[in-house]
Amino acid sequence: MDAQMYHYATVSRALQELTEKGFTIDFNLEEAKAWVLENYGDWKKGETPAPVPAFVSNTVLATAIALSIFTLLFYFRIGWLIHLMERIKFLSKPLKYVRLLEQFSGNQLLRILLLSLLRYGVFILQYLLLLKVMGIDINLQVSFWLLTVFYLIMAMAPTIGFTELPVRATASVELFKLFSPNIVGIQAATLGIWLINLVLPAVIGSILILGVKISKDDE
């Protein structure tokens, strides 16, 4: 049976005739409804997440900016932090490590900060590229802020060696699944970052150390 081609003057006319012929289901829309139903509640009842009030979002933003400013002040004026820690008894133990920062000049601290920002930017860029490769279609700005939260969680989470991978996978899935149903892609991107930045350097370093040890033994 040969396929019959239809030509319509306007989109509205096409939709009208398709409806008359019994084509009433938009499968793309149905898939979207199913995804919202799975992640955000009953579509028909309108149980969608309530938007965050502007007051709350502005308060969080102002708090983050204030904390960033205070952190930078303490970083470049480490003496202030030391004086504050000296007044708190339970901080006396880590105080000796903080005192080491007094040995660095302002230029050295600035250089360390810039190198840290560069390293952080590389990690973010790697993750963004892997998310695209794995088919995670999330807005670039949203992805950036999700990654900042992700790396904050990883900095605070107590992990050792290979136990870091499950924590990474769980944190990334919990964050990114709010904006993408591609759980496998999220986990694959997390695994890729872990392999590139942790496993691969460790393997290369072990091989180099082993080579140096063998060469010394031969001498």
Confidence of residue 44 (pLDDT cuts 50, 70, 90): very low
Tell me the pLDDT tens digit for each residue of 149-166. Answer: 898 888 888 777 677 788
Domain positions in the chain:
11-40, 51-103, 106-219
Share of the chain above pLDDT 90, in %: 8
Contact 82, 102 (CB under 8 A): yes
Residue 132 carries which side chain, given as an amino acid letter?
A: K
Tell me the pLDDT tens digit for each residue of 171-219. Answer: 888 888 888 888 888 989 989 988 888 888 888 888 888 776 666 555 5
CA distances (Å), origin 50, targets 35, 53, 79, 187, 193: 17, 9, 45, 28, 33
Tell me the pLDDT tens digit for each residue of 95-111. Answer: 777 777 778 888 888 89
173: how many CB neighbours lie within 10 A of its CB? 15
Cα within 13 Å of Cα(216), Cβ side: 6
Share of the chain above pLDDT 70, in %: 72
The answer, yes or no, to whether residue 45 has pLDDT greater than 50, is: no
Q: Among 21-35, 140-154, 182-196, which stretch is predicted with the lowest mean pLDDT?
A: 21-35
pTM of the predicted protein model: 0.61
Contact 143, 131 (CB under 8 A): yes
CA distances (Å), origin 66, targets 43, 69, 79, 146: 39, 5, 20, 20
